[in-house]
Chain A
């Protein structure tokens, strides 16, 4: 505090006070640590998955791989149980499940992440605009948003796909738009809370511009709750995209994606094949992990957050 150095008394009394409140360090519980480990694992798999996978995602495994030394006939290659050849078994066409999961990580996580980013870009921009803007702007945006929120996400997705078909860009943009509505609500309510606080009032009186207030006062104050919300939203988007793929309306073959892998192999379920189970466990491991991390973080940043998210 260079301005106060001239006054010795002030300096002594203020030296006790730190410049900013001490950073709260988040100590993760065991479940949070497991969550972080699994999320890091899948992030790593996005980058190196295809290069360490035992086969290509589209390879049909050769029958000769499955010949049992004593047996004399060629076995079927589809719905093979786990073995040394295929660690997690094979799918309905005799492709290696493990390899397809490793390749699919990129598609599933990539699409969901891109959609979440779009939802956030759109939702936060409009949400803050509604929070700082005029009452009229807020009214317009909020009413419009409420109308969209009143359509169940899956219905919205089905109608859009029925109308324009399903390609990856459409899937990403559509999901981004659908989830932008709920991000808008969170960002707007968080922004409004900050807007009425004394320090924003002080900044306004000081004559700071709107842009300065948004970037220096509002955004830093809402970034932490938004980050937690980002995690939850990401989970819901993964589940949404997987559900669409599962219905056969999301990622189209021959690309491997966890949701569509479940759909393809559903026929093996009555015979006890684990081929449909494995990709859904992959989804579950990712979504549960993110939830565990979010739980840990929000336990440290006050429980009030959950009220805003519903």
Chain B
């Protein structure tokens, strides 16, 4: 039964990704101008364009082209970017452009995850342990403020404090690629700090809400009536039942990190994947935007899938779909 339920979710995930790829393909093929024009650039004549289009398989109808694009994507061929394409020269290969950027983004989000998940869960637990107390009110109010202001404001306030007033850290995170050890950490510190603040606020709120929700269920009431001390109720009765929902919360927030990364990489000029995509949007480099969007959406869908599976595994009732 468990296997079936998990299989069902994986299938839904794959279908979702296919739909996402269709949406992205349609969205980006609306634009006038195609790869043939990009490759030929100034040297385009109607004859050479037509010849190249046939060579690239662009004379096929849209659904065939979509399948071809999808096939390339699945075999790791992300296509050619407009960047660097001039008179007669073919643009840069996207996979070459993406690889180092993806590493940078993964490094950043990995650091954020390592720091924020344990910290945020502790704080969320703390807040839910004493609801209505002063510490809970402080935590609730500050997290509400953090999630309701723009991400870039959080980034700017941190820059104001740590880079301008105290002068401890650089205000941009430029990396040439040969930084080692301390330099690397220094460059990463500000973006990490910003994302940790934003993501932690989300996790804290959701952890607190989840635990309080479970605390209002009948079996906890029973434990209270039995006279079990509050700490023991949380640690022994409710914590195990919150693991599923909390893994869910964490996966959702890691997925949400994608949006935050876009802003934070821009503020700190951090050379990650999101920054590459924004540059692609600004120069209307569609193959590049397609590839980046697919990577981000795939990450998102996979994370949501993990969240789903965590809740299935932790809650046997979800194993039997109605």
User: Residues on A close to B: CB < 8 A?
Assistant: 146-148, 150-155, 158-164, 235, 239, 242-243, 246-249, 259, 262, 266, 269-272, 276-277, 280-281, 283-284, 287-288, 290-291, 295, 306
User: Residues on B close to A: CB < 8 A?
Assistant: 16, 19-20, 23-24, 27-28, 30-31, 144-145, 148-153, 156-157, 159-160, 163-165, 171-172, 209, 255-256, 258-259, 262-263, 266-267, 277-278, 280-282, 284, 286, 289-290, 293, 296-297, 300-301, 304
Contacts A158-B293, A249-B282, A306-B209 aside, 6 further interface pairs with beta carbons under 8 A come to A148-B23, A150-B304, A155-B296, A159-B289, A162-B281, A247-B278
Known interface pairs A280-B150, A306-B209; A159-B160 also in contact (CB < 8 Å): no
Known interface pairs A269-B156, A284-B150; A153-B259 also in contact (CB < 8 Å): yes
Inter-chain CA distance A153–B258, complex, in Å, is 10
Taking the nearest CB of chain A, how far is it from the CB of B186, in angstroms? Answer: 15
Q: Is the CB of A158 within 8 A of B278?
A: yes
Q: Is the CB of A150 within 8 A of B297?
A: yes
Which residues in B have their C-beta under 8 angstroms from that of A262? 150, 152, 156
Q: Is the CB of A163 within 8 A of B286?
A: yes
Contact of B293 among A153, A155, A242 (CB under 8 A): A155
Q: Is the CB of A280 within 8 A of B152?
A: yes
- The total of interchain contacts (Cβ-Cβ below 8 angstroms) comes to 137
Which residues in A have their C-beta under 8 angstroms from that of B297? 150-152, 155
Q: Is the CB of A239 within 8 A of B150?
A: yes
Q: Is the CB of A280 within 8 A of B149?
A: yes
Say whether chain A's binding surface is mostly helix, strand, loop, or mixed.
helix
Which residues in B have their C-beta under 8 angstroms from that of A158? 262, 277-278, 281, 289, 293
Inter-chain CA distance A170–B16, complex, in Å, is 26
Q: Is the CB of B27 within 8 A of A163?
A: yes
* Smallest Cβ-Cβ distance to B256: which chain A residue: A152
Contact of B150 among A152, A283, A291 (CB under 8 A): A283
* Smallest Cβ-Cβ distance to B145: which chain A residue: A288
Q: Is the CB of B153 within 8 A of A281?
A: yes
**Which of B171, B263, B281 lies at the interface centre, i.e. has the most chain A CB atoms within 10 A of its CB?**
B281
Q: Is the CB of A248 within 8 A of B150?
A: no
Q: What are 5 sample pairs from A and B whose C-beta atoms fall under 8 A apart?
A: A158-B281, A239-B151, A243-B151, A276-B156, A280-B156
Q: Is the CB of B24 within 8 A of A147?
A: no
Q: Is the CB of B258 within 8 A of A242?
A: no
Contact of B20 among A150, A243, A277, A283 (CB under 8 A): A150
Which residues in B have their C-beta under 8 angstroms from that of A150? 16, 19-20, 297, 300-301, 304
**Which of A159, A247, A269, A270 lies at the interface centre, i.e. has the most chain B CB atoms within 10 A of its CB?**
A159
Which residues in A have their C-beta under 8 angstroms from that of B282? 248-249
Inter-chain CA distance A280–B150, complex, in Å, is 7
Known interface pairs A243-B151, A269-B164; A163-B23 also in contact (CB < 8 Å): no
Inter-chain CA distance A242–B156, complex, in Å, is 15
Q: Is the CB of B171 within 8 A of A164?
A: no
Which residues in B have their C-beta under 8 angstroms from that of A147? 16, 19-20, 23
Contact of B16 among A146, A152, A246, A290 (CB under 8 A): A146
Taking the nearest CB of chain B, how far is it from the CB of A137, in angstroms? Answer: 19
Q: Is the CB of B148 within 8 A of A287?
A: yes
